Structure 1
C-alpha cells in the first residue's frame, strides 16, 4: 500500500513538473532545405553563376600573368619611361582583378546579393513553417542542429532581456 501511495505521489509530481516544463523540438534546417526543389534550383543557379564569374576572373588572371611574363622578358630593353608605363599597366590590371573579385565574391558582392535573392525566400518559407509548427504544437523553443545548436524559434514571452536591463539599472 505504501509503495502504491509513493508511486502515485511520484507520478503526480512528475505530471506537475512536466506541465510546467518548457517544450522544445530539434530540427535540421540543412536537411529540410536540401529536400526542397526550389532550394536545389537556387543552389544550381548560384553554382552556375559562381562558375561563370570564376572563369571571368581566371581569364583576367591569365592576361595578367602574360603581361608579367612579357614585362620580365622585355624589361632590360625598355627605357625608364616605357618601364614605368608598363608597371603602371600591371598595377592597374592587378587592381582591376582585385576589384572584380571583391565585386563578385566579396562581402555583399554579387554572389551574396544573388544568394539573398534566390535562397532567402526559401529560408523564410521554412522559418514560417517552423513558427507555425511551434504555435500549433505549443513549443517554447525550436533548436536547429544543422550548424551547431542554434535557437531558430523562441517564444517571445520567455525573453527575459528586459528583466536583465532592469537589474542592471538600464531604462528603455
Structure 2
C-alpha cells in the first residue's frame, strides 16, 4: 500500500515538472554503507550490546533453573507455606526474565533504540554526501537502489554511487556491476572442420 502511494505521488511530481527539466539519479546506499568505517564500527558496537544483553538474560534463566532444581530436591521436606513461598519466588523470577527480554529485544526495545542511536552518525554522513552530489549534478530526484521502492531497471549512466563514495572518501572498488540484458544472437558463419580438429571460418 505504501509503495503504491509512493509511486502515485512520484508520478504526480514528475508530471508537474517539465520533462526537459527532469534529471534523475540513484545510489546503492547498502553498498556505500558497507564500505564506511563508521558503519562497521556501529555494527560492532551493536553486536557488543546484543551479546551483553543476551548474556544477562541467559544468566537470569540459569538462576531460575538452579532455583527450580533446588525446590524439586527439597520439596518433600517443605511445608505448604514454604512451598508457596518458593513457587512465588520462581514465578517472579520468570516474570522478571520475560519482561527484561521484551524490554531489550521487543518492539522498539533497548536494542532497537541503540541501533537507532549508533546508526545516526553514518546515516547523516551518507545523507549529506547524497545531498551534496545531487546539488552538484543538478538532480531533481535521487533514488536509493537498496530501498523498498523496487527499481525494475536502472541505466548505469544514472548511477551516482561512485560520486557519493568519492565525496565520503571511500574506495569504490568491487562495486557491483549492473546486470546487462543479453546481447541479441546473430547467425554465425558456417565452419569447416580441418583435419587437425581445428575449426576454420568459411571464407566469404
Distance 2:131 2:150 in 1: 15
Distance 1:137 1:24 in 2: 10
Tell me the residue number matched to 2:55: 55
Show the 5 A alignment for 1:154-165: none
Q: Give unpaired runs (5+ residues) of structure 2.
A: 1-17, 152-204
Count of residues paired in the alignment: 134
Any idea what SS the aligned residue of 2:26 has? strand
More helix by share: 1
Tell me the residue number matched to 1:89: 89
Distance 1:43 1:95 in 2: 31
* TM-score, length basis structure 2: 0.57
Could you give the per-residue CA deviations for residues 45-88 of structure 1, whole angstroms, max 9, x where no partner exists? 11112111111111111111222233344434432211211111
CA contact (8 A) 2:46 2:115 kept: yes
* TM-score, length basis structure 1: 0.67
Any idea what SS the aligned residue of 2:148 has? coil
Matched, 1:41 2:5: no
CA contact (8 A) 2:38 2:121 kept: no
Could you give the per-residue CA deviations for residues 124-164 of structure 1, whole angstroms, max 9, x where no partner exists? 1111211222222222222222243279xxxxxxxxxxxxx
Any idea what SS the aligned residue of 1:81 has? helix
CA contact (8 A) 1:143 1:150 kept: no
Q: Give unpaired runs (5+ residues) of structure 1.
A: 1-16, 152-172
Measured after TM superposition, the shift of residue 18 of structure 1 is 5.6
Residues 114 and 84 of structure 1: CA distance in aligned 2, closer, same or farther (over 3 Å): same
CA contact (8 A) 1:25 1:139 kept: yes
CA RMSD of aligned residues (A): 2.4
